[in-house]
Amino acid sequence: MRLFLLIGLYFVLSLKGVLADSENEIRRGVYPYMAIIYYADESVVVSSGSRFVRSAVLIRPEWLISSSLETNDTQLAFPRKTLLARVGAISLDVNFTFNEDEDEQEREIIQIVRPTNFSASSWWYNDITLLKTLLPFNMTTAVGSTALSPKRDSVDKTCYILVFAKKYANSSDEKVLMQLAVELLPPSSANCGAYYRKDTTICASDSDENKHVAYDTDFCYGNSGGPLICEGDVIGLQTYVNTCKPPYLYQLMSAWDDFISCGVDDKCLLSQCANICEDIDKDTVMTVETNKVMPISTTEAPKMLVMDMPSEDTSEEERISLPETTKAKMTAGNESEKPTPTASSTAEVTTGTETTPVAITENEDKSTRIIDSATSWPKEKFEEHRKKLDEADDSDKMERKTNVEAQRHEVKKKARNAAASHVTGVAGLFRSLSFGVLFLTCII
């Protein structure tokens, strides 16, 4: 009987140990708003040499909120580099493998919004960024948005942070989504340190609940921008200005209501939000800048910057290939040797590496006129330049293309491995149960 009790106790403790190892790991769909931000280009790294990554929270189908993407030792690669957002993931490997079969979704970032007074040299004071995706995320059981809490009275309560971290320091290269407990401290410089800022930040220390949890102590790297959750609500974002040492600092969401409202409603350019937020777009619109109107001289007509006119020796075939604007000027030149003085200005259209000056008269809209390059340049020059533009455009498209398709071939392999591992674990558990039942039957 004593032997039976010892074996039963060993079985219960073993099972409890298995559950304890995974109790801090997050199942898919528990926190569907948890996201990561990273660059498709693997060469974009932080000062330590590791690949750039941030955590984030999905607050609308097309909007996420995270920490700053630029610090005093990390430059902002956006919009030159393609920035991606992924939601629905509960694990990350070193290759950032995308698992579409596991309900993960990925979108390209086309706009970031940050505080107007943001400074890379003191980024921790405004460590918050809004990110807009090209297409909204599809809301599923694994992917969903959440509202930010206006709470400010969670002091002295146990809260949780979500981080992607290794279960053990050197166990594998894969990071899993975990929740770690933290104890909020009364907000003050004495408790929170020199980086604390009144009304916008709070801080916390380690919780005793984490003493029996095995995880990498360098969990903070790559998890800036992750959520601080108190009583089920997201009340803050993680800011690791002290690296992984407490007290941990958090941006308080209730302090950024105006910034969030101006950003997600696209009002940063309006007067009421101009001093609150600024945005950076992925694709900039080409504009035509004009000089001031040239004064009219009483002695001679103003000189206009136009294309070189063909000489009288130009053949008829070459004249036919010239743009219509050039033909018109040739005709005007034959009718009168001296042009009539008119007020004019010039605009420069810059495309690629060449600049073409084009005359604009006083009757034209100088701020919105779009110059058709096909009728502004000679045929040979236009074709050569157009070829260069096409090559540059193809290169840009290759850069902007996400790595989703390239990674799909790894999905099935990883899914099969995960399924095999799950089956092996279940089989081991059933063998243990069968052994216990058999042993009990023999004794009885």
**Phi/psi zone of residue 105: left (φ > 0), alpha (ψ -120 to 50 degrees), beta?**
beta
Specify the amino acid at residue 238.
Q
Instruction: Output the pLDDT for position 414.
Output: 57
Residue 247, preceding peptide bond in cis (omega within 30° of 0): yes
179 and 51 fall within a common domain? yes
Half-sphere exposure of residue 361, counting CA atoms within 13 Å on the CB side? 4
54 lies in the same domain as 120: yes
In this predicted structure, what is the pLDDT of residue 436? Answer: 62
Instruction: List phi, psi (to 5°) of 183.
Output: -105, 115
Domain presence at residue 429: no
Which residue in this structure is represented by tokens 């955590």? 55
Asked whether residue 274 falls in the same domain as residue 313, the answer is: no
- Cα distances (angstroms) measured from residue 44 to each of 39, 47, 394: 7, 10, 21
What pLDDT tens digit does each residue of the chain (444 aa) get?
Answer: 455 444 554 444 443 333 334 567 899 999 999 999 999 999 999 988 899 999 999 999 999 999 999 999 899 999 999 999 999 999 999 999 999 989 999 999 999 999 999 999 999 999 999 999 999 999 999 999 999 988 766 555 789 999 999 877 556 678 999 999 999 998 899 999 999 999 899 999 988 887 777 777 788 999 999 999 998 999 999 999 988 889 999 999 999 999 999 999 999 999 999 999 999 999 754 444 444 444 444 444 444 444 444 455 555 555 544 545 444 445 544 544 444 444 444 444 444 444 444 444 444 443 443 334 344 444 444 455 456 555 655 555 555 444 444 454 454 555 555 555 554 555 556 566 665 656 566 565
Domain assignment of residue 355, given as a range: 289-400
Exposure of 30 in the CB half-sphere (CA atoms within 13 A): 13
Q: Are residues 276 and 297 in the same domain?
A: no
Is residue 344 in a domain? yes
Kindly state the tokens that stand for 319.
């004249």
434 occurs within a structural domain: no
Is 414 a member of any domain? Answer: no
| Residue 243 tokens, joined | 């690296």
Do 319 and 186 fall into the same domain?
Answer: no
* 89, 163: one domain: yes
CATH number reported for the structural domain that contains residue 182 in this entry: 2.40.10.10
Task: Give the chain's domain count.
Answer: 2
18 inside domain: no
Cβ proximity of 232 and 147 under 8 Å: no
Which residue among 281, 302, 319 closes a domain? Answer: 281
Residue 155 CB burial class (10 angstroms; 0-12, 13-18, ≥19): middle
Sole residue written with tokens 């609940």: 209
- What's the pTM value of the predicted model, to 2 decimals? 0.62
Query: Which among 262, 281, 300 is the end of a domain?
Result: 281
- Domain contains 12: no
Tokens representing residue 193 in the block: 């340190």
The whole-number pLDDT of residue 394 equals: 56
Q: Amino acid letter at 291?
A: N
What distances in angstroms separate CA 18 from CA 4, 15, 24, 425, 428, one per listed residue? 21, 5, 12, 10, 12
Residue 94 has φ and ψ, to the nearest 5°, of -65, -25
- Using a 10 angstrom Cβ sphere, with 0-12 exposed, 13-18 middle and 19 or more buried, the burial of residue 212 is exposed
Residues 384 and 276 in one domain: no
Query: Are residues 378 and 248 both part of a single domain?
Result: no
Q: Are residues 272 and 325 in the same domain?
A: no
**275 in a domain, yes or no?**
yes
Q: Verify that 355 and 308 share a domain, yes or no.
A: yes
- Structure-token pair, residue 114: 């940050």
Question: What spatial distance separates the first Cα and last Cα of the chain, rounded to whole Å?
Answer: 10
219 and 141 in a common domain: yes
In a domain, 329, yes or no: yes
Question: Do 113 and 239 sit in the same domain of this protein?
Answer: yes
User: How would you class 104 by CB atoms within 10 Å of its CB: exposed for 0-12, middle for 13-18, buried for 19 or more?
Assistant: buried
Last residue within a domain, chosen from 281, 310, 329: 281
